[in-house]
Amino acid sequence: MIKLAPSILAADFNRLGEQIHSVEDAGAEYLHIDVMDGNFVPSISFGMPVISSIRKSTKLVFDVHLMVEEPIRYLEDFKEAGADILTVHAEACKHLNRTIAGIKELGCRAGVALNPATPLNVLDYVLEDLDMVLLMSVNPGFGGQTFLPNSLCKIKQLKEMADRAGADIDIEVDGGIHTSNVADVIEAGANVIVAGTAVFRGNIKENIAEFKNKFSAFPM
């Protein structure tokens, strides 16, 4: 099943609760939550208090993307705030295996994210321990960027790598995805689609319906 993960980084925070209800009612499966520390990436977004607050108002899967240096320090806090999936950047972890193990011990699904220039071979010794790999198709830190076309090749290579290893993982892609290019991303091998401005700009219900229509061409 192809899943849509609207990124609240693009939401109107004056209407955040209302817009979360809108994406849930429209059929989104996940809520993508970008946590930025101002160190690993230039921007600062939000942390545990916001996640804890919105957790009370929705049953959506909380897909928490930690763009944070040494995220192992905060795993338990994000679990307590309501995270279902915790994704850490390979580039931000001194001990990636230990961090993944820490996520699993908390009962969360474990994901590893890779920046556009990070090679897939950093996953060689952790792939079998993962539930998801997140490939960034823009350089992280800001919303509204343009999709990097060479990401399609990387998605295909990851899918082939996972198939060879017999790894039953989700492949999530984040950055610059719209209804005009999402079919290419899915065809390359992705099954979890992060979209921010393409969901929250304009009519949320109609935008999600358009994504779902594109997904319907790829029965899984």
pLDDT tens digit string along 93-132?
999 999 999 999 999 999 999 999 999 999 999 999 999 9
- Report which of residues 220 and 201 the model is more confident about: 201
CA end-to-end span of the chain: 5
Residue 66 neighbours by CB under 8 Å, 6+ apart:
35, 74, 78, 86, 87, 88, 89, 92
Catalytically active residues are 34, 174
| CB atoms near residue 21 (< 10 Å) | 15
176-186: per-residue pLDDT in tens? 999 999 999 99
What span, in angstroms and rounded, lies between the C-alpha atoms of 161 and 86? Answer: 22
Each as own residue / partner, the long-range contacts of residues 20-25 (CB below 8 Å, 24 or more positions apart, any chain) are 20/54, 20/57, 20/58, 20/60, 21/57, 21/58, 22/204, 22/205, 23/60, 23/199, 23/204, 23/208, 24/58, 24/59, 24/60, 25/205
Domains of the chain: residue spans and CATH: 3-215 (3.20.20.70)
What span, in angstroms and rounded, lies between the C-alpha atoms of 208 and 210? Answer: 5
Alpha helices by DSSP H, the chain: 16-25, 48-55, 75-81, 96-105, 151-165, 182-188, 197-200, 204-215
What span, in angstroms and rounded, lies between the C-alpha atoms of 48 and 153? Answer: 35
For residue 142, the model assigns a pLDDT of 65
Tokens of 115: 């920046």
| Whole-prediction pTM | 0.96
